[in-house]
A and B are shown apart, each in its own frame.
Chain A
Amino acid sequence: MTDVWRFLFEQRWALSLLKGSAVTLGLGLLGMCLGLIIALPLAIIRWRKVRVVGRLVLGYTMVVRSIPGLLIIYLIFFGSVQAVDSIGEFFGFQAAVRSAYPFLMGMLAIGIISSAYSVEVLRGALQTIPEGLIEASKSLAMPRSAIYLRIVLPLMLRNALPGLNNVWQMTIKDTSLVSVVGLGELMRTAALAAGISRSPLVFYLIAGAVFLLITWVSQRLFAVCERHLNRGFLEAR
Chain B
Amino acid sequence: MDMELVQQAIPFLLKGAQVTLIIGLFGVLIGLPLGIFVGLVRLSRHRQTAACFSAFSAFFRGTPLLVQLFIIYYGFGQLGFVRNNPLLWWVVGSSLHCAILAVVLNTIAYTSEIFRGAFQSIPIGMVEAAQACGMSWWVALFRVRFPLALRQALPAYGNEVAIVIKESSLASTITVLEITGYAKRLMSETFAIIEIFVIASVFYLVINLLAMLLVRQVEKYLSGGLRTGRKIHI
**Is B200 interfacial (CB 8 A cutoff)?**
yes
**B78 — which chain A residues lie within 8 A by C-beta?**
198-201
A43 to chain B, nearest CB (A): 19
B 46-82 binary contact with A (CB < 8 Å = 1; else 0): 0000000000001101111111101100111111000
Q: Is the CB of A68 within 8 A of B169?
A: yes
Chain A binding surface, main DSSP class: helix
Count A-B contacts at CB 8 Å: 112
- Cα of A67 to Cα of B162 in the assembled complex, Å: 9
Closest residue of A by beta carbon distance from B68: A208
**Is A7 interfacial (CB 8 A cutoff)?**
no
- Cα of A154 to Cα of B195 in the assembled complex, Å: 42
Take A66-B166, A78-B187, A79-B194 as given contacts and tell me if A204 and B201 are in contact as well, using a CB distance cutoff of 8 Å.
Answer: no
**Is B204 interfacial (CB 8 A cutoff)?**
yes
Closest residue of A by beta carbon distance from B211: A66
- In which size bucket is the chain B interface? 35 or more
A186 to chain B, nearest CB (A): 9
- Cα of A74 to Cα of B172 in the assembled complex, Å: 12
Take A67-B166, A68-B167, A200-B74 as given contacts and tell me if A78 and B188 are in contact as well, using a CB distance cutoff of 8 Å.
Answer: yes
Q: Is the CB of B76 within 8 A of A70?
A: no
Residues of A within 8 A of B (CB): 63, 65-71, 74-75, 78-79, 169, 173-177, 179-180, 187, 190-191, 194, 198-202, 204-205, 207-208, 211-212, 215-216
B203 to chain A, nearest CB (A): 9
- Cα of A174 to Cα of B163 in the assembled complex, Å: 13
Interface centre among B66, B76, B78, B204 (most CB of A within 10 A): B66
**B187 — which chain A residues lie within 8 A by C-beta?**
74, 78
Closest residue of B by beta carbon distance from A79: B193
Take A78-B193, A191-B70, A205-B75 as given contacts and tell me if A66 and B162 are in contact as well, using a CB distance cutoff of 8 Å.
Answer: yes
Closest residue of A by beta carbon distance from B205: A66
**B130 — which chain A residues lie within 8 A by C-beta?**
none
- Cα of A66 to Cα of B209 in the assembled complex, Å: 9
A206 to chain B, nearest CB (A): 10
Closest residue of A by beta carbon distance from B178: A68
A75 to chain B, nearest CB (A): 5
6 residue pairs from A and B, CB less than 8 Å apart = A75-B197, A201-B74, A201-B79, A207-B67, A211-B64, A212-B58
- Cα of A71 to Cα of B58 in the assembled complex, Å: 27
- Cα of A180 to Cα of B79 in the assembled complex, Å: 25
Take A187-B66, A201-B75, A204-B71 as given contacts and tell me if A71 and B193 are in contact as well, using a CB distance cutoff of 8 Å.
Answer: no
Closest residue of A by beta carbon distance from B181: A70
7 shortest A-B CB distances, which residue pairs?
A: A201-B75, A68-B169, A200-B74, A176-B64, A173-B64, A68-B166, A208-B63
